[in-house]
Amino acid sequence: MADSSGEFVRSPNHFADRITSDGSSRWPVEPGRYRLVVSLACPWAHRAVIVRGLLGLEQAISLAVVDPIQDERSWRFTLDEDGRDPVLGIGFLSEAYLKADPGYTGGVSVPAVVDVPSGKLVSNDYPQITLDLSTQWREYHRPGAPDLYPEPLRAEIDAVVEPIFRYVNNGVYRCGFATSQQRYEQAYEGLFAELDRLSERLAGQRYLVGDSITEADIRLFTTLVRFDAVYHGHFKCNRHKLSEMPVLWAYARDLYQTEGFGETVDFDHIKRHYYQVHRSINPTGIVPLGPDPRAWLTPHDREVLS
């Protein structure tokens, strides 16, 4: 929602409990106990889908996918038989929120980690969820799983992702949901200034930090993969399309063509959610047919930077 100045303000994550391996929280790491609820349309949830798959945690943490179209009760399980999640037995994600806090009246967001035995929401703290999958669930990673948050690089990763969140991940929303020209222009300038900085950084190196994929790349990818399909037109982020920014376009295609990335992208869910749910921006609800997703499979030639 926008404040009195017209600036989009993202709501804080109300549920920030952590699942830990050392007994420091009330939620222990336990395979089969938790269910990750996501929307394939949502960039914040998309991060968790990618990390779960790259680390091989599919058997340890089950996955639920909600309908990309919300109603007044927010995310719903209408893709499942009888409109109920087969594991949690609920029709709306809000039911897990209310089991955790019966007096809760805030928004319902994904990703959400739910405790299956109690049906209670554990966390909707999307930045911490993926970090904990990398660090707390290490015992259950597949053999040879990548280290997406290596200790020697954590300070650099944290420093790189902070402006990515501020100006890119959240910046596109600050453009799209601004209600004043001034706030929109400020967000627009910040977004493209950061994309220019990232282009310079990636011109000579394949990944954002170090010589392999890290949490930083995943956080940037989920915004970039939605850029031309949604943010360029729908959110008025239209200085350039991603496909007109050579370095970032090649970088994004490189990740898309990496196992664990492209197969998690659902452009149908992405476009239907943004264009049909955000009626204040797109009153007709018409979903554009383009762009052609086959462009994501064209050669990127970034292997030479490895």
Binding-site residue set: 75
Residue 265 domain flag: yes
Q: How far apart are CA 250 and CA 268, in angstroms?
A: 22
Residues flagged as binding site for glutathione = 75
Q: Are residues 90 and 167 in the same domain?
A: no
The closest of 302, 7, 46 to 169, measured between CA atoms, is: 46
Share of the chain above pLDDT 90, in %: 94
11 in a structural domain: no
Q: How confident is the model at residue 9 (pLDDT cuts 50, 70, 90)?
A: confident
Say yes or no to pLDDT of 1 above 70: no
Rg for the chain, CA atoms, rounded: 19
CA gap 160, 140 in Å, rounded: 28
Whether residue 78 is predicted with pLDDT greater than 70 in this model: the reply is yes
- pLDDT at residue 11 in the model: 76
**Catalytic residues, which ones?**
42, 173
How much is the pLDDT for 153? 98
For residue 127, is it left (φ>0), alpha (ψ between -120 and 50) or beta? alpha
- Whether pLDDT at 7 is above 90: no
| 256 shares its domain with 235 | yes
250-305: pLDDT as tens digits:
999 999 999 999 999 999 999 999 999 999 999 999 999 999 999 999 999 999 99
Report the alpha-carbon distance of residue 301 to residue 105 in Å, rounded: 49
**Same structural domain, 118 and 156:** no
Domain enclosing residue 291, as ranges: 151-305
Q: Are 114 and 17 in contact (CB under 8 A)?
A: no
Query: 23: burial class by Cβ within 10 Å (0-12, 13-18, 19+)?
Result: exposed
Average pLDDT over all residues of the chain: 97
Q: Kindly report the CATH number assigned to the domain that includes residue 27.
A: 3.40.30.10
* 301 φ/ψ sector (left φ>0, alpha ψ -120 to 50, else beta): left
